[in-house]
Amino acid sequence: MELTPVSAQFVAEVTNIDLSTPLAIGEQQALRKHLDEFAVLIFPDQPLTEAEQLGIAKLFGDLEVSVGASIYSTNKPRRLGHTELSDISNLDETGRILDNGDIRRLINISNQLWHTDSSFKRTPASVSLLSAQEIPPVGGATEFADMRAAWDALDESMQQRLLPLVAIHDYFHSRGLTGFDVEGIPDHWRTLQPPVPQVLVRHHRNTDRHSLYLASHISKIEDMSDTDSKALVDELIAFATQPQFLYRHRWRTHDLVMWDNRCTMHRGAGFDEKYRRSMRRATVQDIGPSVEQIDHSREVTA
């Protein structure tokens, strides 16, 4: 396994490894260590089957079931064979480009807002692994933001102010921001995916680093007015997505990119929907709700 940093302490490319074959214990450990250190790892030329992709993901923990599979497409045919894989494509179950008004297209547009995967679940995602099968000739890049570097760049008074705060993340809040009619959704969708609390500042137990935990899913900050909440969240997302904290990934067919959702945000860039874009994501569950992982580290010392 060969590691080439693309961005110091944030993004690295990994070569000389075949993810389609079982990894030796030493390689598994090295992979976890590299992901802890960098937060985003790029593996070029890894044409993985669905099962092989899930096998790599399981090295990091238990897998989530795709929200699409569990909420709005229950009992409907899916393009992908495994419910643990999220369909990040503009294709229907037969492989045709989705019609303009298709609900799946409307729901996927929120991927273009800054977010971290599954922070709208009580136990959010730790690691995501996105595999590219077909990519448009232009557009459709994914941008990543380094939330550890953003935290480190905040002044200490701001850090102390943010440490105790808890944000409410709501799946339907971010859908509403991109024009999805959230008033018209069936009641049982809300029951399946209710708003959940998450700490605003995370501490990574393996690296002992803090990071901002932000997403467009945040509907408000606990014990703060709606106006003040929105102003603070907008300010923090603008701060954390300044150019010096960003990496923009231009996809190649058969890239596998894995990232740590606990210390990064990302968003997908738009592209001309006449082109096919076919990707699938395996998502690893964190060890528990972030609000139950509060520890000594929440008191930052200089």
Using the rule CB under 5 A, give the single segment among 31-39, 47-55, 109-117, 232-240 that binds Fe ion: 109-117
Instruction: CB nearer to Fe ion: give 56 or 67.
Output: 67
Instruction: CB nearer to Fe ion: give 154 or 211.
Output: 211
Buried b (16+ CB within 10 A) or exposed e, 14-53: beeeebeeebeeeeeebbeebbebbbbbbbeebebeeebb
Among 52, 84, 117, 260, binds Fe ion (CB under 5 A): 117
Closest Cα to residue 252, out of 144, 134, 142?
134
Smallest gap from residue 130 Cβ to Fe ion (A) = 8
Smallest gap from residue 180 Cβ to Fe ion (A) = 16
Instruction: CB nearer to Fe ion: give 91 or 154.
Output: 91
CA 225 to chain centre: 27
Tell me, by CB under 5 A, how many residues bind Fe ion. Answer: 1
Length of the chain equals 302
Residues between 25 and 84 with contacts to Fe ion, criterion CB under 5 A? none
Instruction: CB nearer to Fe ion: give 209 or 266.
Output: 266
CB nearest Fe ion: which residue?
117
Q: How far apart are CA 241 and CA 233, in angstroms?
A: 12
Place of tokens 């200490």: 156
Smallest gap from residue 135 Cβ to Fe ion (A) = 16
Instruction: CB nearer to Fe ion: give 117 or 286.
Output: 117
Contact predicate 145/264, CB 8 Å: yes
Closest Cα to residue 128, out of 297, 258, 277, 293?
258
Which residues sit at the interface with Fe ion, rule CB under 5 A?
117
